Structure 1
Amino acid sequence: MVRGTCLLFRKYGNFVDNLRIFTKGGSGGMGYPRLGGEGGKGGDVWVVAEKRMTLKQLKDKYPHKRFMAGGGANSRIFFFHRVSALKGSPGKDCEIPVPVGISVTDEHGKIIGELNNEKDKVLVAKGGLGGKLLTNFLPLKGQKQIIHLDLKLIADVGLVGFPNAGKSSLLSRVSHAKPVIADYVFTTLKPELGKIMYHDFKQISVADLPGLIEGAHLNKGMGHKFLKHIERTKQLLFVVDISGFRLSPQTEYRTAFQTIMLLIKELELYDEELQTKPALLAVNKMDVPGARDKFQELMHQLQNPEDFRHLFDKNIIPQKSLKFQHIIPVSASTGEGIEELKNCVRESLDEQADQENSASHKKQLLNLRLSNTISYGEPPSNHAMNTS
């Protein structure tokens, strides 16, 4: 049993998760044809991950969103006993500080690089060569490039649920923090990050993300703003209201079981790879009247999903079923099941880590065996044959 846990809570204000910026490498310096002097190379532009940086800070500090490296110096001539043609000094590099979890793409959507750890860096605009014999001693201009900085939060666990499923309330209960939570849909319009701190100093990061709606894969509602953030989570924690979900009086009411199937379908339509992530299910609001009976019914439906396909239109039935590692009934209002939820989250992540370590160890052994097979299978050299 894991005890003595708490959670540190952080909420972003005026959240910015993407920026479009202009970058330009520095121009090279002039060469000196008479004495073969070379101009300095222009500086490069790099995107560098920093732990405490946010895209909002970057936007506020550089409102013009233009980043240019320094130009290379011209070839210089010094007179000291004899004439010397020296190579010009290179231009100063430009570094763009961004938060960890940034994906850098060009204007056509091609990925230039991803920055998943502090101090990771990626080159986005090269500096021009300095003037030399190869360029007829004329300098070259630096590369120009418009890039997109796209933040995808990195967390151990991503909360997945439709609006008013109680995700923010659940995170609040786990953390003992008291964020203001309004009683209407789309309460969470920006990501909220928290860290579960265990008694043995183990930390698990949790991302509460903007609520999905039906059609999110088509970018409806918060759509892709939500879905892109769960790409980098290790596991998914589905949160559903035991009483079901209804977005508005104009939309259809969905039971808890239908809600789960719709969530799975939205993930499938956006990116099938998301269905390969380990998943847990928290069935929230178990304090409401009749919740126990509804929970028993839900468990029966989840164990026999094929018997209830008639409840869905064909186009909203997931192609693949998703097996939850743990299903935990909870109440964010009363605290019921919260400790069990914390324990299950940690247990699931520990199992995943063990499996990844085991797979990595097997791969190393396989590579070692292949290496030995190739080594032992090599024919003897000519020298060895001649001396026998």
Structure 2
Amino acid sequence: MVWLSRALLRTYGRFMDDLRIYVKGGAGGMGHARLGGEGGKGGDVWLVAHEKVTLKRMKDRYPSKRFVAGIGANSSTVALKGAKGKDCEVNVPPGISVVTDDGKLLGELNKAGDKLLVAYGGMGGCLATNFLPSKGQVHMIHLDLKLIADVGLVGFPNAGKSSLLTRISHATPQIADYAFTTIKPELGTVMYADHKQITVADLPGLIEGAHANKGRGHKFLKHVERTKQLLFVVDVSGFQLSSTTPFRTAFETVVLLAKELELYKEELRTKSALLAVNKMDLPDAQEKFNYLMEQLHNPQDYMHSLPKEMIPEVAVRFKEIIPISARTGEGTEELMMCLRRVLDEEAEKKIEEYQKKQLRALHLSNV
């Protein structure tokens, strides 16, 4: 049996995944027409990714949410070339996309230390501008946080994702027997005997139509993009959101989850995935699991009975399918070892691809 120690990833109060802020580059300095002097350029506004920053802390610390760079110095008889205005550096959390109010993507900051210029300072006054300065850029921008985790738990409400996270990491998400218990992402870490750690994100449950932003659709799906590995979690007995919605078998649940990911972003079709079939401690679970395995191995024999709009264009190919019970712990250690193995294989694959790319570049440079 593999020894695992558990640790809860640090959290910072109420979770925020979007913050709208005002950024303004500094105005340029006045030129000196008589002496031909140039005013200093206005300061720029930069975003800098910092590990200890959260969007909530930013909001609390800067309630006005305004970030303005310094004004460029005027040209003078003492200094014909005016000094540049002071840049404004704004610390933000890693893992954010930066989007303007009109939807233009300015860039992303994926890791600590990344920098992004979001508002240029204005030009200083010079001969070309009749010695008049220009104003700095102004933007209202959204800091859109997308979690970066090794593993993202994907499943409909009440599939047992929160219970699974509790079991493998001693995290303490809210758990109850009704849909939408999880309303914010929960993070946990698992440490292996060799001190290797993986981060696991329990993401808010999605529903049919999530790709069209039903329920918490887009808030859920944007976090899925930033996980290395997907772990589908389904109830072996099936799922029904409410008395007014259709009952879905475990097989239909898998198909629907795949379709929602595909409709949101086609690239998610090829993301590495595993399947955990939960609640194996319930009566008749083994019989239902065996039937699900038959359906997954021969999907073409069962897809014809489903509505066309439910069927994904590309069938999900799971690297592993593991029966578990998050309540009793059955199968969870095997699941964690599968996650570890798949993540290691993906890392090795990327290293090999990088080495091949370097060798090709070296070969071409020697031709």
Contact 1:102 1:150 in 2 (8 A): yes
1:1-388 equivalences in 2 (<5 Å): 2-11=2-11, 13-78=13-78, 85-373=79-367
Q: For structure 1, which segment, 64-73 or 328-337, has the greater mean C-alpha deviation from structure 2 after superposition?
A: 64-73
Deviation at 1:106, TM superposition (A): 2.1
Question: What is the CA–CA distance in structure 1 between the aligned matches of 2:162 and 2:22, rounded to whole Å?
Answer: 37
Question: What is the CA–CA distance in structure 2 between the aligned matches of 1:326 and 1:276, rounded to whole Å?
Answer: 15
Question: What is the CA–CA distance in structure 2 between the aligned matches of 1:136 and 1:214, rounded to whole Å?
Answer: 60
Aligned pair count reads 367
Question: What is the CA–CA distance in structure 2 between the aligned matches of 1:43 and 1:23, rounded to whole Å?
Answer: 12
SS at match of 1:311: coil
Q: For structure 1, which segment, 172-181 or 221-230, has the greater mean C-alpha deviation from structure 2 after superposition?
A: 172-181
Q: State the TM-score, normalized to the length of structure 2.
A: 0.96
User: 4+ runs of 1 displaced by more than 3 Å?
Assistant: 9-13, 177-180
Aligned-residue RMSD, C-alpha: 1.5
1:160-193 Cα deviation digits (max 9, x unpaired): 0000001011000001234431221101111111
SS at match of 1:293: helix
Q: State the TM-score, normalized to the length of structure 1.
A: 0.91
Gaps of 5+ in 1: 79-84, 374-388
Contact 2:180 2:205 in 1 (8 A): yes
1:233-288 Cα deviation digits (max 9, x unpaired): 11100001111100001111111111001100111111111011110011111111
Contact 1:9 1:175 in 2 (8 A): no
Question: What is the CA–CA distance in structure 2 between the aligned matches of 1:179 and 1:149, rounded to whole Å?
Answer: 25
Query: CA separation of 1:179/1:215 partners in 2, compared to 1, >3 Å: closer, same or farther?
Result: closer
Query: CA separation of 1:11/1:254 partners in 2, compared to 1, >3 Å: closer, same or farther?
Result: farther
Contact 1:12 1:192 in 2 (8 A): no
1:81-139 Cα deviation digits (max 9, x unpaired): xxxx4322221111222110010122332211110010111111111112222322221
Deviation at 1:364, TM superposition (A): 1.7
What residue identity is the alignment partner of 2:318? F
Deviation at 1:342, TM superposition (A): 0.8
Deviation at 1:2, TM superposition (A): 4.6
Q: For structure 1, which segment, 192-201 or 215-224, has the greater mean C-alpha deviation from structure 2 after superposition?
A: 192-201
What residue identity is the alignment partner of 1:301? Q
* Sequence identity percentage: 66
Contact 2:19 2:144 in 1 (8 A): yes
SS at match of 1:131: coil
SS at match of 1:225: helix
What residue identity is the alignment partner of 2:89? E
Query: CA separation of 1:11/1:189 partners in 2, compared to 1, >3 Å: closer, same or farther?
Result: farther
Contact 2:31 2:124 in 1 (8 A): yes
Query: CA separation of 1:300/1:11 partners in 2, compared to 1, >3 Å: closer, same or farther?
Result: farther
SS at match of 2:21: strand
Question: What is the CA–CA distance in structure 2 between the aligned matches of 1:23 and 1:9, rounded to whole Å?
Answer: 32
Q: For structure 1, which segment, 121-130 or 27-36, has the greater mean C-alpha deviation from structure 2 after superposition?
A: 27-36
Question: What is the CA–CA distance in structure 2 between the aligned matches of 1:188 and 1:4, rounded to whole Å?
Answer: 25
Q: For structure 1, which segment, 191-200 or 248-257, has the greater mean C-alpha deviation from structure 2 after superposition?
A: 191-200
SS at match of 1:76: coil
What residue identity is the alignment partner of 1:57? R
SS at match of 1:205: strand
1:141-177 Cα deviation digits (max 9, x unpaired): 1111222211111111111000000101100000123
Deviation at 1:11, TM superposition (A): 4.8
Question: What is the CA–CA distance in structure 1 between the aligned matches of 2:295 and 2:85, rounded to whole Å?
Answer: 66
Question: What is the CA–CA distance in structure 1 between the aligned matches of 2:362 and 2:30, rounded to whole Å?
Answer: 53
Contact 1:41 1:90 in 2 (8 A): yes
SS at match of 2:34: helix
Contact 1:12 1:191 in 2 (8 A): no
Q: For structure 1, which segment, 127-136 or 11-20, has the greater mean C-alpha deviation from structure 2 after superposition?
A: 11-20
What residue identity is the alignment partner of 2:123? L
Contact 2:191 2:197 in 1 (8 A): yes
